[in-house]
């Protein structure tokens, strides 16, 4: 019975006390609360009223002239007609209240005098609640027994249906609703069982394969979430086809899956599964009217008795997955302990990087860009270095990937923008020459609508002319983010800021984006320039790029020039610009000024 029902229930209360003032005060208080109250002054009358009126609760004083409260309570509890009436003992502070005896004879509570009426009402209310709850439970039990007698078949049916519902709920709790695969909860429960069992059988081997769908975000963003969901379902079915009975595929979350190989003979068994998966995913997926290609990167960890924590298993598999994605998309990597050491080192480096951005622990180096026909320095590419307080100078290839993944690259790029624009403007004034500035831009900026405004503000504050700025973007970044890139590049072009494709020739084979995007400069990757040898080999591709650029009226910069022969070869092909160690390494700003002061030509 709920509190509303109790408030509207007029309970009968019997007060037993030989002191008239106590009876009067208690009776008045309880009457005001809506209770029906009867009062008596001795134990004999209390027993008589209890038998005839059967009150809902008795407030029983311990000291009375004929018999004490303990004896009255014992007689009440020995009588079947009154044994269920709750008794609350009343006792003055100066009386010896034997609490153990009070409960032993059947009392449910006690109240000491002088009374705190809030306490009295609370204790009465509590006992009445209990009594009403007992009555309700009793009633429900009686009704249930009656239903069992009358409707045994129906109840069995209901129990069966309830079991089915429970099984369905359990299935839902342990399975992914999209792919119908076991989910993370199922996986963790099963892994814990296997890890515990493995402690009892040291020779037992199993494997965990952590899978991440390559390029899923691009597919999801470009074709929509419905197609993305269809891809995940189709991917799950193909992955399942690669497994034998006893091995389980689960969806860990998003585009991540985990395969549990519960018993293997050697790590080669897990590697074989990974190779089979990559082979199975080579054909395209047909989703509605779309043909989609994707594969997975796989991290593999071999489970044995050395693992006593399933979370460590997944941690190591995830570390191996990260290494696989770093090596090449669509590859697999077997975990080894050095990866964990490297991951901790990388985490420490990430923490240091966040602090370094706050403290501006970076310096900018500048590599000259040379007009190959005149030999003059026409501009510089800005290249960031990290002056770590303990490790010394750290090169970009060590910290830029971390900055990219954590999003810190957004702050880092804008810091370089500001400092480099200030420096180039200073050199323009000092040497009276319109040097250009090449700055690398992360594709992370493409999804930020304020990028153009921020660049404009930096150019305005540093007073560098728009046409002196060249934004370098890799061709892979343009293709993979073409939904955003086109608008960004067109906005830059409209402001006379030039767009430069970095590492040209290392990305996609399709060159159609050169016609679709506003590109001003191509930078031929150093890997092609390094192949220019005096024996005449490996020159056709460089020549083809320069010819293509001439037809499209796009400037060309050759990166990585290291020999006089390479320089002359590129001049003969009318290549516009070049940079490399043959001219100068990336230099600190003071060394650049020394170089410019010499008016050096090549």
Euclidean distance between CA atoms 372 and 378, whole angstroms: 10
In the prediction, which pLDDT does 152 show? 75
Confidence of residue 190 (pLDDT cuts 50, 70, 90): very high
Q: Does the pLDDT value for residue 310 go beyond 60?
A: yes
Q: Does the pLDDT value for residue 485 go beyond 60?
A: yes
List of residues 6+ apart from 575 with CB closer than 8 A: 372, 546, 556, 558
Write out the H or E segment, with its range, that includes residue 279: helix 267-280
Instruction: Give me the mean pLDDT over the 435-439 stretch.
Output: 97
Tell me which residue has tokens 């199993």: 206
In the prediction, which pLDDT does 135 show? 85
Name the nearest CA neighbour of 529 among 478, 582, 476, 479. Answer: 582
Q: Does the pLDDT value for residue 334 go beyond 60?
A: yes
In the prediction, which pLDDT does 360 show? 94
Confidence of residue 95 (pLDDT cuts 50, 70, 90): low
Rounded to 5°, the CA angle 598-599-601 comes to 115
Euclidean distance between CA atoms 258 and 391, whole angstroms: 38
The Cα-based distances of 433 to 130, 231, 285 in angstroms read: 94, 55, 56
Instruction: Give me the mean pLDDT over the 425-439 stretch.
Output: 95
In the prediction, which pLDDT does 97 show? 65
Confidence of residue 21 (pLDDT cuts 50, 70, 90): confident
* Bigger pLDDT: 276 vs 158: 276
In the prediction, which pLDDT does 508 show? 54
Q: Does the pLDDT value for residue 535 go beyond 70?
A: no
Name the nearest CA neighbour of 327 among 390, 401, 258, 273. Answer: 401
Q: Are 295 and 238 in contact (CB under 8 A)?
A: no
Euclidean distance between CA atoms 504 and 502, whole angstroms: 5
Highest mean pLDDT: which range of 155-164, 402-411, 513-522? 402-411
Q: Are 242 and 315 in contact (CB under 8 A)?
A: no
Mean pLDDT of the chain: 89
pTM over 0.75: no
Instruction: Give me the mean pLDDT over the 292-311 stretch.
Output: 92
Q: Does the pLDDT value for residue 1 go beyond 50?
A: no
Rounded to 5°, the CA angle 85-87-93 comes to 175
Q: Are 424 and 467 in contact (CB under 8 A)?
A: no
| DSSP letter (8 states) at residue 182 | B
């Amino acid at each position: 019975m709920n509190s509303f029902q109790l408030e509207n229930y007029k309970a009968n209360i019997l007060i037993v006390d030989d002191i008239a003032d106590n009876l009067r005060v208690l009776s008045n208080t309880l009457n005001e609360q809506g209770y029906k109250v009867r009062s008596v002054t001795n134990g004999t009358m209390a027993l008589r009223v209890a038998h005839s009126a059967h009150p809902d609760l008795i407030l029983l004083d311990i000291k009375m002239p004929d018999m004490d409260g303990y004896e009255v309570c014992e007689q009440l509890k020995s009588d079947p007609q009154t044994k269920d009436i709750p008794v609350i003992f009343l006792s003055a502070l100066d009386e010896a209240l034997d609490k153990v005896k009070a409960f032993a004879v059947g009392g449910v509570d006690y109240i000491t005098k002088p009374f705190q009426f809030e306490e009295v009402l609370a204790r009465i209310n509590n006992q009445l609640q209990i009594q009403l709850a007992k009555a309700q439970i009793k009633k429900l039990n009686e009704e249930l027994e009656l239903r069992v007698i009358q409707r045994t078949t129906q109840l069995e049916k209901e129990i069966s249906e309830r079991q089915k519902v429970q099984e369905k709920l359990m299935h839902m709790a342990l399975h992914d609703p999209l792919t119908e695969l076991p989910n993370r909860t199922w996986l963790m429960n099963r892994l814990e069982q296997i890890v515990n069992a493995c402690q009892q059988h040291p020779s037992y081997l199993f494997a965990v394969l952590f899978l991440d769908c390559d390029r899923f975000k691009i597919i999801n963003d470009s074709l929509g979430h419905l197609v993305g969901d269809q891809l995940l379902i189709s991917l799950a079915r193909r992955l399942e086809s690669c497994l034998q009975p006893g091995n389980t595929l689960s969806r860990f979350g998003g585009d991540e899956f985990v395969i549990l190989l519960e018993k293997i003979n050697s790590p080669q068994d897990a590697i074989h599964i990974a190779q089979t998966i990559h082979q199975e995913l080579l054909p395209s997926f047909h989703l509605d009217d779309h043909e989609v290609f994707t594969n997975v990167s796989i991290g593999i960890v071999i489970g044995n008795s050395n693992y006593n924590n399933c979370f460590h298993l997944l941690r190591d598999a995830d570390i191996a997955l990260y290494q696989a994605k770093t090596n090449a998309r669509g590859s697999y990597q077997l975990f080894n302990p050095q990866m964990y050491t490297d991951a901790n080192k990388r985490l420490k480096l990430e923490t240091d990087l966040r602090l370094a951005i706050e403290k501006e622990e970076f310096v900018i180096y500048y590599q000259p860009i040379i007009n190959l026909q005149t030999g003059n320095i026409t501009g510089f590419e800005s290249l960031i270095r990290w002056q770590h307080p303990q490790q010394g100078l750290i090169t970009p290839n060590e910290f830029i990937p971390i900055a990219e993944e954590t999003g810190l690259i957004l702050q880092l790029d804008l810091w370089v923008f500001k400092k480099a624009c200030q420096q180039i403007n200073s050199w323009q004034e000092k040497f009276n020459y319109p040097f250009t500035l090449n700055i690398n831009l992360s594709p992370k900026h493409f999804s930020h609508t304020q990028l153009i405004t921020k660049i404009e503000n930096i150019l305005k504050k540093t007073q560098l002319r728009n046409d002196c700025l060249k934004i370098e973007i890799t061709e892979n970044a343009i293709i993979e983010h073409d939904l955003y890139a086109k608008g960004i590049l067109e906005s830059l072009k409209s402001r006379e800021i030039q767009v430069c494709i970095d590492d040209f020739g290392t990305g996609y084979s399709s060159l159609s984006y050169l016609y679709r995007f506003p590109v001003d400069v191509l930078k031929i990757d150093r890997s092609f320039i390094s192949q220019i040898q005096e024996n005449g080999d490996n020159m056709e591709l460089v020549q083809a790029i320069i010819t293509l650029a001439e037809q499209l009226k796009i400037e060309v910069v050759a990166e990585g020039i290291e020999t006089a022969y390479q320089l002359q070869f590129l001049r003969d092909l009318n290549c516009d610009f070049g940079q490399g160690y043959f001219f100068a390494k990336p230099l600190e700003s003071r060394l650049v000024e020394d170089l410019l002061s010499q008016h050096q030509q090549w």
